[in-house]
Chain A
Amino acid sequence: MRCYETCVIAHPEMSETDSEALLGKLQEYVTAHSGTVLKLEKWGKKKLHYAIKKQLKGNYFFLCYMGNQQILNDIDHALRFNENILRYQTIKADSAAVIAGDSPVPAAGEPDEELRPAARELESTPAGEQ
């Protein structure tokens, strides 16, 4: 079992129900192959530094989990053939850092305060509290 983190950039106009369904499905894939979800975060809509599929904004989701190759294959397949997904990236993560909650709040692009109320709240809390 290894720790992986997947970051997904979804279409900015993706509906709430669609995104919830997608996240539910991803979690299902992880648990189906006896993996565990360590972290699931919604970073919200943020400005992209360059256009992806002609979109200048993206809806960010972040998933951290312990799992195996089968989970990666399933997640990869689910995201690759979903038209609402602009981009995704899965990398091997340091499980100790993730469990310790050592995940800095991302701030892609220019700080876009209006679009990121949730992230602003997180920034105001000290890192140790998370």
Chain B
Amino acid sequence: MRKTIPSGKNVYQKRKICRFCADQNLPISHKDYPALRYFVTERGKIIPRRISGTCARHQRKLTRAIKKARVLCILPFSASSV
């Protein structure tokens, strides 16, 4: 993937792969804490897809799952300072 940085140079970056597209059988569940933890920061924020590499479709599903998990106390809304 070619990217242009502010200085005008072209930088080549490896394209990130959506892990849910790579493995179609991988479920997105709001009850699966170990899987969801991978997509939130230590403070409990949802990691943007430009960083995690998740595709738009799966990021939407993931976001809904994380928000449901927060209601059930499976994930924090905001973790207290470490």
Which A residues are closer than 8 A to B by beta carbons?
A: 7, 9, 48-50, 52, 58, 62, 87, 89, 91, 97, 102-109
Residues of the B chain whose Cβ atoms lie less than 8 Å from the Cβ of A104: 27, 29, 31-32, 35
Chain B residues 7-42 with CB under 8 Å of chain A are 27, 29-35
Q: A9-B73, A87-B73 are in contact. List 9 more A-B contacts (CB 8 A).
A: A7-B72, A49-B73, A49-B76, A49-B77, A50-B77, A89-B71, A97-B27, A108-B74, A109-B33
Kindly name the residue among B27, B71, B72, B77 whose own CB sees the greatest number of chain A CB atoms within 10 A: B72
For residue B34, which residue of chain A has the nearest CB? A107
Jot down 23 A-B pairs with beta carbons below 8 A, ordered by A.
A9-B72, A49-B76, A49-B79, A50-B73, A50-B76, A50-B77, A58-B73, A87-B71, A87-B73, A89-B68, A91-B30, A91-B68, A103-B29, A103-B31, A104-B29, A104-B32, A104-B35, A106-B32, A106-B74, A107-B33, A108-B33, A108-B73, A109-B73
Q: In the complex, A102→B29 CA distance in Å?
A: 10
Shortest CB–CB separation between residue B46 and chain A, in angstroms? Answer: 15
Which B residues are closer than 8 A to A by beta carbons?
A: 27, 29-35, 44, 68, 71-77, 79
Indicate which residue in B27, B30, B68, B72 contacts A87 across the interface (CB closer than 8 Å).
B72
Shortest CB–CB separation between residue A39 and chain B, in angstroms? Answer: 12
Q: In the complex, A7→B79 CA distance in Å?
A: 22
